[in-house]
Amino acid sequence: MDNVHKGILKKFEYLKGQLIIGKKEIKGENSTDRLPPDSFVPEKHILHDLIRGFYKPAGKPYLLSYQATESENNYGKQIIWKNENNAEFIRIEMAPPNSPKDNRKKSDIDAARYNLINKIPIGILRKVKKGHNIILGLGRITSEREDGIFIIEPFSYNELKKENLKRFEEILEELDEVEAINTSVLREVFQRQGQQQFKRTLLERSNKCALCEIEEPFLIASHIKPWNKCTDEERLNSNNGLLLCPNHDILFDRGYITFNEHGLIKISPKMPEIIKHQMGLKESATISINLKMNEYMKWHRLYQFKK
């Protein structure tokens, strides 16, 4: 997998549970603009073309993503839920295109089999109605039934990293034997280890999102003052962190919400009302905050919050 492919998969996992309205945040305004590079994907990209269920990027052998459309006029019920409210599924029965006039049918099926054989995960969207898609995170095709239906089971990008752990350890051993160590690789290792330690420290304080009842393992250790703006000491300081669910994390990270010195939420005037409603944000919402946390929150209110 190249960095663009891996970045898009990470983005799907990060966006899990979010409702996206319109096409702009899925494929951009048009085929020329696409989605701009971001913290996940280093190039212009799209998550899905929104034309058909299967999305196979041109010139690639694999499926990148799948849009489940559960209408009776299409393939009917496809998703077996574990917890629909939390966007958690047990499996998805992915029906391949079957129109005899579909000239992309064979290449789509071949791509799905490529993902199956090579254990490559795909991003999943669920179309709830026209122009409304919920991101279900990642799935992996685990089998193909005799009737041609592909079975998708939930997948976490962390599992992919675990599978590559042995090779990663081998790389580290090789680096230990070389005098000129690649410092960029080491920085990545240290950052990942630091973030894991940071989250463990926050979990000792609470195991729920600061704004809702969602619990671990769906929590994100969100830095109040971003990692790339911190000193080494600030990066691991638990007072510089909040545990948030993915929906609230992205709002906080992008400056659509912040908190005053008493922990009372401040909602950006640039927050669309429909998103505010869908996220269930209330002007009375509060979080637990101490004096040391407030020093970091001052930074967030001044430099991150969209005024």
Q: Residue 280's pLDDT is what?
A: 79
Q: Residue 265's pLDDT is what?
A: 94
- Return the biggest CA–CA distance within the chain: 66
DSSP 95: P
Residues in Cβ contact with 40 at an 8 Å cutoff, skipping those fewer than 6 apart: 7, 8, 10, 11, 14
- 183: pLDDT strictly greater than 70: no
The predicted model gives 205-229 an average pLDDT of 86
Is pLDDT larger for residue 48 or for residue 184? 48
Handedness of CA 228, 232, 233, 236 (dihedral sign): positive
Query: Among 98-107, 155-164, 207-216, 239-248, where is mean pLDDT lowest?
Result: 155-164
Give me the residues paired with residue 137 across strands: 124
For 8, the 3-state DSSP assignment is helix
Integer-rounded Cα radius of gyration of the chain: 21
| 210 to 274, 286, 304: CA distances (angstroms) | 22, 8, 19
- Of the pLDDT bands very low, low, confident and very high (cuts 50, 70, 90), residue 171 is very low
- For 29, phi then psi, to 5°, come to -70, -40
Q: Residue 22's pLDDT is what?
A: 92
Predicted TM-score (pTM) of this structure:
0.53
Q: Residue 181's pLDDT is what?
A: 41
Please report, to the nearest 10 degrees, the dihedral formed by the alpha carbons of residues 192, 228, 174, 200 taken in order: -20
Q: Residue 56's pLDDT is what?
A: 93
